[in-house]
Structure formats: C-alpha cells, structure tokens
A = this chain, B = another copy of it.
Amino acid sequence: MISPKRQGGSFKMAQKNILQFIILGLINDHPQTGYELTKSFDNDIGEFWSAKHSQIYPQLKTLEEKQYLTHTMEVSGEKLERKRYSITPAGQHLLTAWIAEPTINQTNGKDEFVLKLYFIHDQTDPRLTTMLEEQLQYHTEKLTHLKNQLSKKFPDGGDPANFGHYLILSHAVSRETEYYDWLNDALKQI
C-alpha cells in the first residue's frame, strides 16, 4: 500500500467531522437555512458527500454555540419561520484553516479533497496549485501501485476463472487513471 505521509501539525490534529466544514463552506458562499443546505446535497455536492436534515440541524446548532455561525429569523406568510445562518469571522477562520490543511486521503470512498476544491471559487487562487499537486502525487503513487497489482495478478488480461476480481481491479485502475488525468487537466487550466 501507500504510506499516508504528511502531517498537519504536531499538536493534536482533531480533524474529522467534515460535515461541519461543508456547512461552513456553503454558508460562507451565502447565508442560508437548514432546509436549503439539505437540498445542496441533492445537487452537485451530493456526488461527493451527502447528509440528511437530521444531521444538519443539530450541526447548525452546535456551530452556532461555538460562535462559528449566527442566525436571523425570517418569516414567510403569516407564521412560517426560518433561520437564516451566516458565518462569523471565527467561522471563516476555521473554514480557511480546513482548506489550507493537507488532506489525508481516506480509504473509505469519501473524498474530502474534492469538497475543499468546491469552496475555492477563483481560478487564480494561490492555494490551488499546491493542493492539486499534493493530490497528484498521492494519486500517481496509487495508480502505479494498482497498475502493478493488475499486471502481477492478471499478466495475461482477464482470467476466466477469476473474472470478478479482474473486473474490479481493472475498474480501480481506470478509476485512478481518471483521477490522475483530471488533476493534470486542472493544473493545466490554472
């Protein structure tokens, strides 16, 4: 396998609870309600992360308690209330720190890096090159590793007696190839 490398600092490294950063990122773009945040996960962002309202509402509460968010009340019609959340300077700090922090690539099919990218709007943002190159390095190693596996386990192509295994390894290789190509493309565009 591939060694994780890079650490994000010698002290503690709380990490995790990625949902909070996604919420912060979405609200940083513009103030919104819990309901609107929930819907975001049905759109593009849902391709890479999803969350239910039952997770979002409590998280909003927690983030407000920690003073990363504030809210104002709005009213629709006669009495339907909604809370529109805005990010605080402390919240923006936390968000920025999360984006800047080197991304540890998880093994579990979740891709934290892509989420960070989503919150970078400006094509000329100086963080882009570093972030993309860091990922490129990781995925280059991973692709090499997988290609080695494939040619080692199936030197003659699809083995009829181990077809499923062959198929998923091929899939893993082409999936990584796509990631690699995409990162290179992105780097070319900046």
Residues in A lying within 8 Å of B, measured CB to CB? 1, 42, 44-50, 107-111, 114, 117-125, 128, 146, 149, 158, 160-165, 167-172, 174-175, 177-179, 181-182, 185-186, 189-190
Chain B: minimal CB distance from A152 (Å) = 11
A161 CA / B179 CA spacing, docked (Å): 23
A50-B165 CB under 8 A given contacts A175-B178, A181-B174: no
Q: Contact between B164 and A121 (Cβ–Cβ < 8 Å)?
A: yes
Chain B: minimal CB distance from A142 (Å) = 9
Chain B: minimal CB distance from A157 (Å) = 9
Supply 10 further A-B pairs (C-beta < 8 A) apart from A1-B42, A121-B161, A170-B182. A47-B146, A47-B168, A48-B109, A114-B168, A120-B163, A121-B163, A167-B182, A171-B182, A174-B178, A175-B178
A168 CA / B177 CA spacing, docked (Å): 16
A124-B168 CB under 8 A given contacts A50-B108, A174-B182: no
Chain B: minimal CB distance from A63 (Å) = 22
Closest chain B residue to A189 by CB distance?
B158
Closest chain B residue to A45 by CB distance?
B168
Q: Contact between A164 and B109 (Cβ–Cβ < 8 Å)?
A: no
Q: Contact between A122 and B182 (Cβ–Cβ < 8 Å)?
A: no
Contact of A163 among B110, B123, B146 (CB under 8 A): B123
Contact of A109 among B110, B169, B170 (CB under 8 A): B110
Q: Which residues of B contact A46 (CB under 8 A)?
A: 1, 107
A44-B149 CB under 8 A given contacts A107-B50, A163-B123, A164-B119: yes
Q: Contact between A171 and B114 (Cβ–Cβ < 8 Å)?
A: yes
Closest chain B residue to A48 by CB distance?
B168
Q: Which residues of B contact A186 (CB under 8 A)?
A: 167
Closest chain B residue to A158 by CB distance?
B189
Closest chain B residue to A25 by CB distance?
B164
